[in-house]
A and B are shown apart, each in its own frame.
Chain A
C-alpha cells in the first residue's frame, strides 16, 4: 500500500513515506510534504483510499487519534485498522486571519470535528479545514462530511465540508 509514497526522512529516522501537496487554496506556496512515521502509515494509506481510518484495540476495542503505537486506554500493543464514518459534528471552529499560514493563506476556517465510533464506543476528534463555509455557518454541532483534497503526487488529505454542501 506504500508503493505510491516517496521515501522520506525525519529527525528520528522513522519516516516510512512522504505525501506531497501543493497549496490547496492557491499557488502561493511551493509543495509541502507530510511525513508518516511507522505508527501512522496506516492513517495516510487509508486517506489515499478515500477512507478515514483509526486504530481499534484488539483487547478493549476502543479507538484513538492521533495515531500511536499503543492503546492509550489499556496499553495493549495489538490493534486493527478500522474505518470511521465519513461524517461528523463540528466541536470547535475558528477563522484564521493574520498572520495566516504559508500553506493555507489567510481567511480560512479551521475545524475540530467529532467522529463517532461506529461500534458505539467513545469517538475521536480530528482537526482539519472546513471548506466552502462561512464562520457564521460553522456552528458547534453542525453536521459535516469528510472530503479528500488531492496532493501534488496523487496522495489525499482528509478535510471537511458542511453536510449537503457541494464542492465549489
Chain B
C-alpha cells in the first residue's frame, strides 16, 4: 500500500533540442527550457517562487531569477555531486511545496557540455593539484571514466562479468533512441558486434559505446502541490517517493569495504522503498542513470530487480527491452542514446511515460523509478500512482 511521501506533483516539463553545439549560452538554454516547462504546465514565470539548480550548473537560483525577472523566491537550493543530484532536485522541490515553503518550484539543468568544457576530457585543472585530487590526478586518473574504472573492474571481477555482458544494454537503449526523434542517436540502432568493435576507453571495462553522449541542451521540470495540480493543463504526475544516499567519497569510492556494488544506490533504494511503501514489483518502467553502461548492472541489483550478480542475465534475456521486457529501461535511449543532460532528460521521460505520451510508450505504466548517478552521492524518485 502506497503511503503519501509528499503532497507534490510534476505538472510541467520542457526542454531544448539536444545537440553537439547549441550556439547559445547555458543561461539562455535554461531560460528556454523553463519557459517551455511553464507553458507545458499552463503557468507563467511570475507564478514561480522556488528554483532548484544543480551545483554543477553555471546558473544558480539568484542569477536565473534575475534573468527571468522573478520578483522574489521563497525557496532556492542547489543539489550536490553533479549527476547524483538530478532526482534530488525534484525531491527538494517536492519537500518545499509539501511544507509550504513555496508553491511553484522549477528544477532545471542547462549545459553546453559538448561544445564547452567536456567532462570526458582529462584536464590538469588547478595548479597545484588540490589535496582532494592528490591521490588520483598525478596518476592520470582524471575523468569519470577513469575514476569509475576500479569500481567497474571490481564488479566484473566479483561477479564474473565481461564487457561483452554489457552489449545487450547498449543495443536495447540504442533501439529505444532510434525511434525517439529528440534523441541524438535517432534512427541509428547498433548491434552487439558494433558495441564490441568500438574502441577501448578504459580496458577491459569501458568501450566508446558504453560512454554517455556529451551534449548541449537543457531540461526543466515544474513541481507544485497536489492541491493546485489538478487545475493545470496536464494530468499531474505525483512524486510518491524520493530518497538520497551518500556512502563515501564522490567518484573516488575506492576505500570502503565493497566498491563493486554502488553502495550509495543500495542505501538510496532502502530509504526509497521504506518511505514510499512501494517495491520493485510496483515499477513498470525504470530510468536508470547510464553515464557508463556497465553501472546499469549494479543499479538493477541495488534497487532489487535482480539478486547480486544476476543483472547480466536479466539484460541478456531481454529484461530491459521496451517490447517484451519485464522492466523497460531508458525508453528514451538514456544518456548514451538520447543525450547526457545529467539525468534531467530521464525525469522528463518518466513524466511522459506516466502521461502516456512517450514516443516509446510502455503499456500500463503506473509507477516509474528514476535513478541518478551511481559512483557519487546519489538520489532516486518514484513518480506516478493515484491521480
Residue numbers of A with Cβ under 8 A of B are 8, 10-11, 14-15, 18, 21, 29, 32-37, 39-40, 65-66, 91-105, 108, 110, 112, 124-129, 135, 140, 157, 159
- Contact present for B135 and A126 (CB under 8 Å): yes
- Contact present for B134 and A103 (CB under 8 Å): no
Given A34-B134, A124-B255, A125-B254, verify A112-B146 contact (CB < 8 Å): no
Residue numbers of B with Cβ under 8 A of A are 120-124, 126-131, 134-143, 146, 149-151, 153-154, 157, 199-205, 254-255, 259
| Nearest 4 interchain pairs by C-beta | A104-B140, A101-B140, A33-B128, A35-B128
Q: Find chain A residues with CB under 8 A from B151 CB.
A: 92
Cross-chain contact of B120 among A29, A97, A99 (Cβ < 8 A):
A99
From DSSP, what is the main secondary structure of chain A's interface residues?
Answer: strand
With both beta carbons as reference points, the residue of chain B lying nearest to A29 in the complex is identified as B124
Given A110-B146, A110-B149, A127-B254, verify A35-B130 contact (CB < 8 Å): yes
- Contact present for B203 and A32 (CB under 8 Å): no
- Contact present for B129 and A102 (CB under 8 Å): no
- Contact present for A33 and B130 (CB under 8 Å): no
Q: Find chain A residues with CB under 8 A from B203 CB.
A: 94-95, 97, 135
- Contact present for A110 and B124 (CB under 8 Å): no
Q: Find chain B residues with CB under 8 A from A112 CB.
A: 150, 254
- Contact present for B204 and A104 (CB under 8 Å): no
- Contact present for A135 and B131 (CB under 8 Å): no
Q: How far is the CB of B189 from chain A (nearest CB, A)?
A: 24
Given A110-B149, A124-B255, A135-B203, verify A92-B140 contact (CB < 8 Å): no
Q: How far is the CA of A34 from the CA of B199 in the complex (A)?
A: 32
- Contact present for B199 and A32 (CB under 8 Å): no
- Contact present for A18 and B139 (CB under 8 Å): no
Given A34-B128, A65-B255, A127-B139, verify A99-B122 contact (CB < 8 Å): yes
